[in-house]
Amino acid sequence: MNQNIIENKIEETQIRHQVLCGAYASILENLGDVTSSVKDNHTGVTLHLPVEKLDYLISELEKMRTEMQWIDEQAKMMHVVQFGKQQKETEK
């Protein structure tokens, strides 16, 4: 696979990560409104969010997971190709 494609995918994933961090920050800022709340109990913290915010976060996480899996697969393939090239050079 072309190195530029992988680098572009990595950059896109980093941008998505920044967007997701912004979404988390926005949710934290909105916790004071009537549609969001945090309840602390003995087993942990329960976060109540409007469904559309939760759906957005889930959607972004799924996209990032898919892209990271693709990047991992490409990196593994590149490693195998590189290892094969090294083996051929060693045999010479």
pLDDT digits (tens, 9 = 90+) for 12-48: 877 777 776 666 666 666 555 555 555 556 666 566 6
The alpha-helical segments, DSSP class H, found in the chain are: 3-29, 51-91
Long-range contacts of 61-67 (CB under 8 A, 24+ apart): 61/20, 63/16, 64/13, 64/16, 64/17, 64/20, 67/9, 67/12, 67/13, 67/16
Average pLDDT, the chain: 71
pTM beyond 0.75, yes or no: no
Q: How far apart, in whole angstroms, are the C-alpha atoms of residue 44 and residue 42?
A: 6
The Cα angle at residue 23 between residues 67 and 61, in degrees rounded to 5: 25
